[in-house]
Structure 1
Amino acid sequence: MQLEHIRMERDGDVAVITLDNPGRRNALSRPMQEGLGRLLQQVRETPDIRAVLLTAAGDAFCAGADLAGNAIPPGDEHLTRGQSTRKVMEQLSNPLITGLRELPVPVVCALPGVAAGAGVGIALAADVVIAARSAYFYLPFIPKLGIVPDLGTTWFLEKLLGRGRATALTLLGSRLGAEQAQAWGLVWSCVEGEKLREEAMAVARQLARLPSHAALETRRAYDAAGRNDLAAQLQYEADRQAELIDRPDFEEGVRAFLEKREPDFARLGKRGT
């Protein structure tokens, strides 16, 4: 598989995907987006991958869209720049966010530095975000470009920060440092930069030991909670328990509890969907 500015390697049952164009601060170019889409598909098709660690080379996670390379693609010359951008987002960029959220394994994002613009949406699409203390989030959309945050950023920030903080952060364009982001609940933890990879990998390995359906069930449960009233969510939980308790994972969990050991879900075989 020929990839440009992105790569994937295996560390046991964890797939490590690295944005790899540090000279451009890992700006989200079209080839990088295409490569990420192909790697996410490879993860979906590889049953022995049980977690993903998404990170970046250099001292930045992603500086946002590659504005210098944002020319209208051949064949779309009849479109305005805005129309062309919408087409690219619908066909390429937005599927990366839904692809990350629908991935059948947990995703840890390790931020070595700034996540700006579209890079914010990429980072927040992960299940767990761990940041170097020097990292920060930056939204230049409104104050610098006069456009709205994209790649799911408005959706993630409203849910994670609340309307007030999300609005202020968007309008002011202020940098949100890693420690403040942790205090506000945007990231799980922040660590010293030299320990970022080690700490993030430890979390990814822990998540890789979860039941095969853990990531999807957890995301879907909280998505349902966001749209349901209490009665509907109680029914949702009861319905899911009716199915999940009859699966081998629950049996293994109960057996491990009675035998005073850690459950071994990986031995149960095929990853759930």
Structure 2
Amino acid sequence: VLTGAGKAFCAGGDFSEIQAANADPLKAEEGVGVFLDVFRALREIPFPSVARINGDAVGGGCCLALGCDFRIAVRGARFGLPFVNIGLAGADLGASYILPRLVGLTRATEMLLLGQTVTAEEAVGFGMIHRCVEPDALDQEVGDLVGRLARGPRLALRLTKQALVASLDRGLEEALAFERYAQTLAIQSPDVLEGVKAFLEKRPPRFGGA
């Protein structure tokens, strides 16, 4: 679970670091690389990630949220990628990769080229986040989701996430080939026997997994 420590989820980069990088090309490239590595790590970790968005998610903070597999926000939270408003390219921290895939090219163009900000309610409407809830319901909503994932079959979840992430760049044949591999592996796991047995016995499964 990824969340913010204060009123905001994450307000983005430090302006003083941006100013320092302006005069040092090497520092600029290294700094950008660090942020890109964080986004890559969120996409590649072998288990589902959840963004508990307790407030505004702006700039790099918005990208961190989008890098998670699940995104649950409080009502009234704002999402924005206003890089161009301060002269930075909107293509940063995975934004140009993930945003069009979540909301479509038209909406992504508005947000990235105009530095547009949207509310959590709007973000739900066009698929940028999964849900928005009242602030006092956020912990319960996130806790229920995390609990459900934790009780799930680990191998199946890992393979499914891997397939979903890779599907963004694969063609049909590559996707089908990976599904053949994933399902062949999953069907041999103890979780499948437990899942089928639980279904037949009309009880919740008790997955152990690997």
Query: How does the TM-score come out when normalised to structure 2?
Result: 0.90
> Which of 117, 129, 132 is the matching residue for 2:74?
132
User: Alpha carbons of 1:70 and 1:232: their partners in 2 closer, same or farther (altered >3 Å)?
Assistant: closer
Matched, 1:191 2:139: no
RMSD over equivalenced CA pairs, Å: 2.1
Q: Percent identity?
A: 37
Q: Which whole-Å CA distance do the structure 2 matches of 1:66 and 1:224 have between them?
A: 32
What letter matches 2:14 in structure 1?
D
Structure 2 counterpart of 1:87: 30
Q: Which whole-Å CA distance do the structure 2 matches of 1:171 and 1:224 have between them?
A: 27
What letter matches 1:197 in structure 2?
D
What letter matches 1:103 in structure 2?
I
Structure 1 counterpart of 2:178: 236
Contact 1:105 1:214 in 2 (8 A): no
Q: Which whole-Å CA distance do the structure 1 matches of 2:174 and 2:81 have between them?
A: 36
Report how far residue 194 of structure 1 moved.
1.9
Comparing 181-190 with 197-206, which one deviates more in the overlay? 197-206
Q: Which whole-Å CA distance do the structure 1 matches of 2:74 and 2:186 have between them?
A: 37
Q: Which whole-Å CA distance do the structure 2 matches of 1:258 and 1:183 have between them?
A: 38
Q: Which whole-Å CA distance do the structure 2 matches of 1:215 and 1:141 have between them?
A: 34
Q: Which whole-Å CA distance do the structure 2 matches of 1:247 and 1:216 have between them?
A: 13
Contact 1:136 1:178 in 2 (8 A): yes
User: Alpha carbons of 1:139 and 1:227: their partners in 2 closer, same or farther (altered >3 Å)?
Assistant: closer
Contact 2:156 2:186 in 1 (8 A): no
Structure 2 counterpart of 1:67: 15
- 1:197-219 deviations in Å (ceiling 9; x for gaps): 22112111111111113443223
Structure 2 counterpart of 1:168: 110
What letter matches 2:24 in structure 1?
R
Query: How does the TM-score come out when normalised to structure 1?
Result: 0.70
- Of Structure 1 and Structure 2, the greater helix share is in 2
- 1:176-224 deviations in Å (ceiling 9; x for gaps): 1111100111111000112112211211111111111344322321233
- 1:123-182 deviations in Å (ceiling 9; x for gaps): 111110001011111111113324234111111101101111101111122211111100
Q: Which whole-Å CA distance do the structure 2 matches of 1:96 and 1:194 have between them?
A: 29
Q: Runs ≥4 in structure 1, deviation > 4 angstroms?
A: 69-73
Q: Which whole-Å CA distance do the structure 1 matches of 2:28 and 2:155 have between them?
A: 35
Mapping of residues 257-272 of structure 1, within 5 Å: 257-265=199-207, 267-268=208-209, 271=210
- Of Structure 1 and Structure 2, the greater strand share is in 1
Mapping of residues 31-70 of structure 1, within 5 Å: 53-70=1-18
Contact 2:8 2:55 in 1 (8 A): yes
Report how far residue 119 of structure 1 moved.
0.6
Q: Which whole-Å CA distance do the structure 2 matches of 1:241 and 1:56 have between them?
A: 36
Q: Which whole-Å CA distance do the structure 2 matches of 1:82 and 1:147 have between them?
A: 15
| Structure 1 unaligned residues grouped into runs of 5+ | 1-52, 74-78
- 1:4-42 deviations in Å (ceiling 9; x for gaps): xxxxxxxxxxxxxxxxxxxxxxxxxxxxxxxxxxxxxxx
SS in 2 for 1:261: coil
SS in 1 for 2:9: strand
Comparing 190-199 with 177-186, which one deviates more in the overlay? 190-199
What letter matches 2:29 in structure 1?
R
Q: Which whole-Å CA distance do the structure 1 matches of 2:54 and 2:156 have between them?
A: 27
